[in-house]
Amino acid sequence: MKPPNGENMRSPLSRALGLGSAKAGVGQWWRERVSALALVPLTVWFAASIIMHTGSDYVTFIAWLRTPIVSLLMVLLLAGIFYHAALGLQVVIEDYVHSALKTLALLGMRFGCCGLAGAGILAILRIAFSR
């Protein structure tokens, strides 16, 4: 005789565990908000700095980038931008891509964000530590 809950003796709870949201969605929601909050002062500082360097030549711009506080803020800005972009683009892809391409698009987007963040941070460090 079959047990009432299906073909085996597993309880309804054990079959449900591991499926569904598992309360992980709220983590992504929080990470989006926290990174947005961090990016408000960082991006406003960056925009103001770029305005003030509109007329600067290469030497002046590099000298500014090399100051320790600017290098630090630029590294934080790049990390924040691509962390926040990856979270946002993930939601966009999950909303509109329903085919088998979804996983591929998510992978490509994440690799792209990591690669660009790495390239940007490396460029800042090269400028900061060059003689």
| Interface positions with another protein (CB under 8 A) | 33, 36-37, 40, 43-44, 47, 51-55, 58, 61-62, 65, 74, 78, 81-82, 85, 88-89, 92, 116, 119-120, 122-124, 126-127, 130
CB of 27 to another protein, least distance (A): 15
Between 11 and 56, CB nearer to another protein: 56
CB of 104 to another protein, least distance (A): 18
Exposed e or buried b for every residue in 18-30, given b needs 16+ CB within 10 A?
eeeeeeeeeeeee
CB-side exposure of 65: number of CA atoms within 13 Å?
23
Q: Which of 41, 119, 83 is nearest to 49 (CA)?
A: 41
